[in-house]
Amino acid sequence: MSELDQFYEVVLELVKQGGSLIRENISRQKNIQVKSCDVDLVTETDQMVEKLLMDGISAKFPDHKFIGEETTAQGHKVELTDAPTWIIDPVDGTMNFVHSMPHTCISIALYVNKVAEIGIVYNPVIEQFFSARRGQGAFLNGALIHVSGETELNKALVMMELGTSRDPEKMRIVMENLKTMTPLVHGTRALGSCALNMCMVAMGAADVMYEFGIHVWDIAAGDLIVREAGGTCIDPAGGDFDPLSRRALCASSPELAQKVSGTLVQYYPERD
């Protein structure tokens, strides 16, 4: 068994344990705290799942590093080095979780030498387990998945989000893009979870996902899953994907990605 195989086996079991916490608590009363604004929320479950994952990985691999949403919110700096680094969103879709909406998930990725090696997105409420290893394909509940391959904008189902920021300029651009894109595409959808939106593209259920203002923990796992499913992830302006840029565009084909990129009004948030 290779080192990466060992890493995957350990995190697989921990993610399942974390999923049990989400499943047990989603319908219960939550202790909710506010982070940067009234709609940027954190619950005890977010903190419990992140701690479970970090403690469990550290016990087996003490030299591994972490970028976690909740530890970052407490003042830990985002720092991606060549060291094996786990990038964790313990509950992506916290707003959904607070409202007991079942579109919520754990998102975790392993970067080694700044390259994504493992990506897992797990929605334990409706039992969707997305996984990918670099060079080994992408899977949903153990079955191989692939993007749709769609190239035409007018046939594309597009995943997008309003996001948690209520910055007026960002909101203006988000609404302008929604107004511009809607007549051009087959339809628009929003699950309330960036990671799950990306996985919809990976499994061929949607054709495009874009979002401004997300963080590296929202997109690190989804990026690998989309690419291993045959899709493409780029910067929304058309350049290379940068996981720390807080900008992402994923699509079922490079042609479709560039068509969407050429349509979007751009927004550049502060980097992670």
CA dihedral 5→8→14→18, nearest 10 degrees, is: -160
Query: Is the entire prediction scored with pTM above 0.85?
Result: yes
Mean pLDDT score, 177-192 = 97
Q: How far apart are CA 62 and CA 217, in angstroms?
A: 21
pLDDT, one tens digit per residue, over 52-79 is: 999 999 999 999 999 998 888 777 789 9
pLDDT-derived band at 40 (thresholds 50, 70, 90) equals low
In order of start, what are the domains of the chain with their CATH numbers? 3-144 (3.30.540.10), 153-262 (3.40.190.80)
- Per the listing, tokens 């339809």 go with 187
End-to-end alpha-carbon separation of the chain, Å? Answer: 34
Is the pLDDT at 260 greater than 80? The verdict is yes
Residue 151: pLDDT over 80: yes
User: Does position 20 have pLDDT exceeding 90, yes or no?
Assistant: yes
**82 is annotated as contributing to ligand binding:** no
Average pLDDT of the residues of the chain:
95
CB 249 within 8 A of CB 209: yes
Q: Which DSSP string do the residues of 39-108 spell out, in sequence order?
A: T-EEEHHHHHHHHHHHHHHHHH-TT-EEEEHHHHHTTPPP---SS-EEEEEEEE-HHHHHTT-S--EEEE
pLDDT tens figures, 87-116: 999 999 999 999 999 999 999 999 999 999
Share of the chain above pLDDT 70, in %: 98
46 is in an annotated binding site: no
Q: Report residue 36's pLDDT band, with 50, 70 and 90 as the boundaries.
A: low
pLDDT of 74: 76
pLDDT at 163 over 90: no
Render the burial of 159-195: b for 16+ CB within 10 Å, e for the rest.
bbbbbbbeeeebeebbeebeeebeeebeebebbbbbb
d(CA 252, CA 158): 11
pLDDT of the residue at 4: 98
Q: Answer yes or no: is 40 a known binding residue.
A: no
Instruction: Please report, as a single letter, which amino acid is at residue 64.
Output: H
Residue 42's pLDDT is: 82
Residue 128: strand pairing partners: 123
- Residue 41: pLDDT band with limits 50, 70, 90: confident
Question: Does residue 47 have a pLDDT over 70?
Answer: yes
Q: Is the CB of residue 11 less than 8 Å from the CB of residue 120?
A: yes
Residue 211 parent element (H or E):
strand 208-212
Adjacency order of strands within the sheet including 232-234: 187-189, 157-159, 208-212, 247-251, 232-234
Quick check: 213 pLDDT over 60? yes
Axis crossing angle, helix 3-25 with helix 44-60, rounded to the nearest 10: 160
Query: Contact at 8 Å (CB) between 141 and 232?
Result: no
**For residue 35, what pLDDT is reported?**
66
Dihedral, 19, 217, 74, 77 alpha carbons, nearest 10:
150
Q: Residue 38: is its pLDDT beyond 70?
A: no
pLDDT at residue 37 tops 70: no
